[in-house]
Amino acid sequence: MITAKARAVDGPDQSFRTAEIVRRDLDTQDVLIEIKYAGICHSDIHTAHGEWGEVNYPLVPGHEIAGIVTDVGSEVTKYKVGDRVGVGCMVDSCGDCVNCRKGEEQYCLKGNIPTYAGVDKYGEPTQGGYSSHIVVTEDFVVRIPDNIELDAAAPLLCAGITTYSPLRRWEAAPGKKVAVVGMGGLGHMAVQIAHAMGAEVTVLSQSLKKKDDGLQLGADSYYATSDPETFEKLAGSFDLIINTVSASLNMDAYFSLLTLDGTLVNVGAPGEPLSLHVMSLIGHRRSFAGSMIGGIRETQEMLDFCAEHNIAPKIEVISADEIDEAYKRVLVSDVKYRFVIDTSTM
Ligand SMILES: [Zn+2]
Ligand SMILES: [Zn+2]
């Protein structure tokens, strides 16, 4: 039995408290990771607040995990003690269904096992990265390239892969015009990745407050969606729109910005159903799609891509005592652009 220090929450309206949690003893293919940094994702907040369905409290959130391997099971072949590694939004899947076999474990037909608020194959609740240690089967561990600092690596495990995967799938590349809706944790990664893939990148943000950052991160242009002229001016412009916003938007207005055969991909997940006029899609054979994180192989590919192109999130490192305050600030978009917990302060 391995005990880990953690920060847990006991209910939807509760503050974080110190906790000790138990990690399983290493199975033959398990890796023990000493967590160094854990990013704070908006999903952590939705889950901690009970907004995404029933939660078995106490809950330790965190699915942007970066750390060092400190022990390995007897049959582990991919990692050794001292390796720099990461864990993202899932820690296991069936491994056997058609989607798992394709390396798309996030879409496992039996459901992937989320890093927290799930139940693992031993029947135990999963607890996430706001903790000192975690045990994960080696197939769900990725390697962090040497030239990415561990604190900056953490948000890549969710925000990075969530935006990388649709940009790859819908082929952001030279000659393509890509718009990123929302300039937050996800958006500021999408801008950098799409730019590095060679696309012409436009940010569509509510205001121009973060324009300088957007341009500095690689956007070619930046527009305020609060200005109605934006939608007139950019009508029919984009091959691909990545929508990172989890609030309900006027989807028809955004579809009108797509070219013939253009696609709008939602990675933000609004809690309420959206309404749209199908004519906005039919008119120019447009598509509306969704995308959820990425598979393990693709997550490794994303990390290697970020290393090669010197891409990193902009982060604000906080101590474990500052999680509640950080949550409040995320909810009012007062973060540039991701909070990362220094777990040595647990
Ligand atoms: Zn996340
Ligand atoms: Zn599966």
Closest CA to 6 of 171, 141, 135, 131: 131
How far is it, in rounded angstroms, from Cα 236 to Cα 198?
A: 20
Considering only the C-alpha atoms of the chain, give the largest distance between any 2 of them, rounded to a whole number of Å: 62
The pLDDT, as a whole number, for residue 69 is 98
Q: CB count, 10 Å around CB of 337? A: 21
- Tell me the residue type at 204: L
Whether residue 158 contacts residue 186, with contact meaning beta carbons closer than 8 Å, is answered with no
Q: Which ligand is closest in space to the CA of residue 163? A: 1
Mean residue pLDDT of the chain comes to: 97
Distance between alpha carbon 304 and the CA centroid of its chain, in Å? 16
Distance 294 CA to ligand 2 centre (A): 14
Q: CB count, 10 Å around CB of 45? A: 17
Closest CA to 56 of 111, 135, 127, 131: 127
Q: Which ligand is closest in space to the CA of residue 155? A: 1
How far is it, in rounded angstroms, from Cα 44 to Cα 344?
A: 20
Q: Which ligand is closest in space to the CA of residue 267? A: 1
How far is it, in rounded angstroms, from Cα 232 to Cα 249?
A: 17
Distance 130 CA to ligand 1 centre (A): 13
How far is it, in rounded angstroms, from Cα 161 to Cα 67?
A: 18
What are the backbone angles phi and psi of residue 135, rounded to the nearest 5°?
-115, 125
Whether residue 180 contacts residue 205, with contact meaning beta carbons closer than 8 Å, is answered with no
Closest CA to 299 of 153, 114, 95: 153
- Tell me the residue type at 219: A
Q: Which residues surround ligand 1, an ion (CB under 5 A)?
A: 41, 43, 158
The pLDDT, as a whole number, for residue 81 is 98
pLDDT of 190 strictly over 90: yes
pLDDT of 178 strictly over 90: yes
Whether residue 305 contacts residue 196, with contact meaning beta carbons closer than 8 Å, is answered with yes
How far is it, in rounded angstroms, from Cα 251 to Cα 310?
A: 33
Q: Token pair for residue 235?
A: 């009508």
Distance 106 CA to ligand 2 centre (A): 8
pLDDT digits (tens, 9 = 90+) for 98-129: 999 999 999 999 999 999 999 999 999 999 99
Q: Which ligand is closest in space to the CA of residue 44? A: 1
The pTM of the full predicted model, rounded to 2 decimals, is 0.97
Distance 91 CA to ligand 2 centre (A): 12
Distance 110 CA to ligand 2 centre (A): 6
How far is it, in rounded angstroms, from Cα 167 to Cα 306?
A: 13
Q: Token pair for residue 133?
A: 């240690």
pLDDT digits (tens, 9 = 90+) for 121-139: 999 999 999 999 999 999 9
How far is it, in rounded angstroms, from Cα 164 to Cα 253?
A: 24
Distance 285 CA to ligand 1 centre (A): 31
Distance 175 CA to ligand 1 centre (A): 30
Peptide bond between residue 58 and the one before it cis (omega within 30 degrees of 0): yes
Q: CB count, 10 Å around CB of 257? A: 24
- Tell me the residue type at 309: H
The pLDDT, as a whole number, for residue 271 is 80
pLDDT digits (tens, 9 = 90+) for 29-74: 999 999 999 999 999 999 999 988 889 999 999 999 999 999 999 9
Distance 99 CA to ligand 2 centre (A): 6
pLDDT digits (tens, 9 = 90+) for 335-346: 999 999 999 999
